[in-house]
Structure 1
Amino acid sequence: MPFSKPEVTSDVTSFDAPPSSQHPAMRHKSGLIGSINLGLTVLALLSSMTIVGTSAETLQVYNTTRLGNGHFLSIWPNEFDIRPTVALVTCGSIILVSSILSLVAARVPAIANKTLLSTSLSLLLPSISLVAALISTSFFYGVNASSTTFSLQSWTCQWANISMDVKPHWGTLCKESKVALYLSVMMIPLQLLVLGTVVVGFLGRVKGWVVGRKVEGDRKGSPALS
């Protein structure tokens, strides 16, 4: 009676590579970095809206209450530099638009799925916001260093304790000017953080792609067991 050779079964089980070329752990980390970037961008958007709103309000009050030169009872000084407030409105608007475009680029699949394009926009737009924040703050501190020329903030805060029944309300204008300035200063480290998350996220995606390709290569190169 012929003997049949017993079949040898292998205890080694095969594994499936990730469906994409990025390793799952790296993909999770990349998603976390993306969420942080999204949160910081939303914060920049809300802050820029506040900057534009408060500085535009103070500028509007100034334009409607100033009498111009030649009036003896003018409530605004002749030596007055409005450029810091104009810079806050302008640069705040630039940051606002850049933040909106950043959010659109992050949520539109046609852009987000193209790593080179999305990364380029993610670096460019916060860089524009960073430059705008630096310009707006430099205008203020440049004018504020003068001992003879007043800015809208320095003049209104000088009279902030005086109660007014009609415009201009010095205390309100002082607070609005400070809020716009402080948010502009805060925007500098905020945009640096946004840029940092973009760089870290890009490096994470590259590393995840390399690890994913290595896993797929190991699977394809391993001998098939039957």
Structure 2
Amino acid sequence: MSLLEKQPNSSSEFEVDSNHNLQQDAHLDSKIRTLRFLDAGRAAATLLALLMGLAVLGTTGHALQAYNTSRFDASSGGAAWLSMWPNNSAFDVKPTVALVVGAALVVLANIIALTSHHRFVRAKLSVAHTPLTFSAPFVGLVAAIVAIILFYVANRSATADTLLSWSCRWRHLTTASPAPQFASLCKASHAGVDLAILLIPVEFIAFVLAGVELKLQRYTAAYTNARKTPSPMLS
């Protein structure tokens, strides 16, 4: 009778353990689904930031190249229209340079972030996600913010014109090639600034998603390793 009495207890303990394991599996599956969702969202935000960074680099780089080409041609002489650019003391090109450098850093950081995403997206959960996926969007965010700050600080000068202010002031002036087309330079400069401003929230979203993903991945890895470790009660 004593053996028959123990059998129901053993069966009930087994059922409790099985239900507990199923609950643990459901918890782990939920974390994995959330991790995949965060990873996909971060990749999308990173790709968007990369495309926007390339657009900023292309527009501002085009405007800066047009100015440098005509300015260097001015030193060789022989073209009357070259005097349409102000002299160095009344012209500040640093705001545009700041946007170009900032956009280049954003592009580089997001390329690294996308490379790390492709590299670790299928990694085992027991291996923590590289901090590179967190640091890369942080660098891109800082680069975008610093570029905009430097642009507006330099653009507030009351004594010197910038490439944006000068080209937009003379945007209605029609010039013959190869003279600079101020209307296109004005549009390119404005587009670069607007895209750089919009780039900040995109980089912030990628940065936040990367941080949450990194934290959740470390938790999931620790949780998985804890489940693989035998319990002292069972040994």
TM category, shorter: 0.7 to 0.9
Checking the alignment, whether the CA contact within 8 Å between 2:128 and 2:221 is kept in structure 1 is: no
Shift of 1:203: 2.8
Shift of 1:208: 3.7
Structure 1: any 5+ residue segments left out of the alignment? none
Distance 1:209 1:17, change over 3 A: farther
Q: Could you say which residue in structure 1 is the equivalent of 2:139?
A: 128
Q: Could you say which residue in structure 2 is the equivalent of 1:173?
A: 185
Alignment-mate amino acid for residue 149 of structure 1: A
CA root-mean-square deviation: 3.5
Q: Residue 76 of structure 1 is aligned with which of 80, 85, 96?
A: 85
Distance (whole Å) between structure 2 residues aligned to residue 161 and residue 19 of structure 1: 69
TM-score by length of 2: 0.76
**SS state of the match for residue 89, structure 1?**
helix
TM-score by length of 1: 0.79
Q: Residue 194 of structure 1 is aligned with which of 181, 206, 211?
A: 206
Distance 1:206 1:116, change over 3 A: closer
The alignment-based identity, stated in percent, is 26
Structure 2: any 5+ residue segments left out of the alignment? none
Distance 1:220 1:33, change over 3 A: farther
Q: Could you say which residue in structure 1 is the equivalent of 2:67?
A: 62
Distance 1:195 1:80, change over 3 A: same
- Name whichever of 108-117 and 172-181 sits farther off: 108-117
Checking the alignment, whether the CA contact within 8 Å between 1:84 and 1:151 is kept in structure 2 is: yes
Listed as ranges, the matches of 1:156-171 within 5 Å are 156-166=167-177, 167-171=179-183
Of Structure 1 and Structure 2, the greater helix share is in 2
Shift of 1:122: 1.6
Checking the alignment, whether the CA contact within 8 Å between 2:50 and 2:111 is kept in structure 1 is: yes
Aligned length: 216
Listed as ranges, the matches of 1:21-36 within 5 Å are 23-36=28-41
Checking the alignment, whether the CA contact within 8 Å between 2:134 and 2:214 is kept in structure 1 is: no
Checking the alignment, whether the CA contact within 8 Å between 2:129 and 2:218 is kept in structure 1 is: no
The answer to whether 1:138 aligns with 2:178 is no
Distance (whole Å) between structure 1 residues aligned to residue 43 and residue 104 of structure 2: 19
